[in-house]
Amino acid sequence: MAREPHDYDDIPGTVVFDAEKSRQGYGINMFCMSLMKEENRKAFKANEAEYLKKFALTPQQTQAILERDYNRMLELGGNIYFTAKLGATDGHSFRHLAAVITGSTQEDYAKMMLAGGRSVEGNRSKSGKVKPAKAAKSKSKSKPGSKSRSQRG
């Protein structure tokens, strides 16, 4: 059965973790959750490919995990918070993972987030169907001769 398209599919650079992604990524996410236990982390690090055979993973999911291709894991149904457990197993912080996923340095990622996040300009629509919102004009009624807030200084 083909997947029905959603409005949020049009957001560039975004993989929305919805019910379908949850089903698709069940194996990835269960693998990542297994890394919460020290004995599982040790077993995984001892032989990654063998350990992954315990989970219902597609060949593409297995490859993404072994290559630490976090963006591909998200595309294949991984949940960012679960996949972070793999990063932690490798000794990486969430900030490191976010920088890798966004293609930036940790410092640049932190600066962007502290400045309010990614600009919406150029990031609203892949298809061009969604246009940037224009500033709404105030339709408030004022008394003749009165000044608006912006005019008051």
Q: Is 7 exposed, middle or buried (0-12, 13-18, 19+ CB in 10 A)?
A: exposed
> From CA 128, how far away is CA 94, in angstroms rounded?
32
Query: What is the spatial distance between Cα 92 and Cα 11, in angstroms, rounded to a whole number?
Result: 28
What digits encode the pLDDT tens for the residues 102-137?
888 999 989 988 988 877 665 666 666 655 554 434
What would the pLDDT profile of 42-62 be if each residue is shown by its tens digit? 999 999 999 999 999 999 999
pTM of the complete model? 0.71
Report the C-alpha gap between 64 and 77 in whole angstroms.
11
Please determine, for residue 29, whether its predicted confidence score (pLDDT) is greater than 60. yes
pLDDT digits 0-9 by tens, 2-19: 667 777 766 666 777 788
Residue-by-residue DSSP string for 82-101? HHHHHHHHTT--HHHHHHHH
- Greater confidence, 10 or 39? 39
Report percent pLDDT > 90 for the chain. 49
Secondary structure of 30-67 as H, E, C letters = HHHHHCCCHHHHHHHHHCHHHHHCCCCCCHHHHHHHHH
pLDDT at 142: 43
Q: What is residue 15's predicted lDDT score, i.e. its pLDDT?
A: 77
pLDDT for res 3: 67
pLDDT, position 112: 87
Query: Does the pLDDT of residue 144 top 80, yes or no?
Result: no
- Better-predicted residue by pLDDT, 113 or 41: 41
The whole-number pLDDT of residue 22 equals: 84
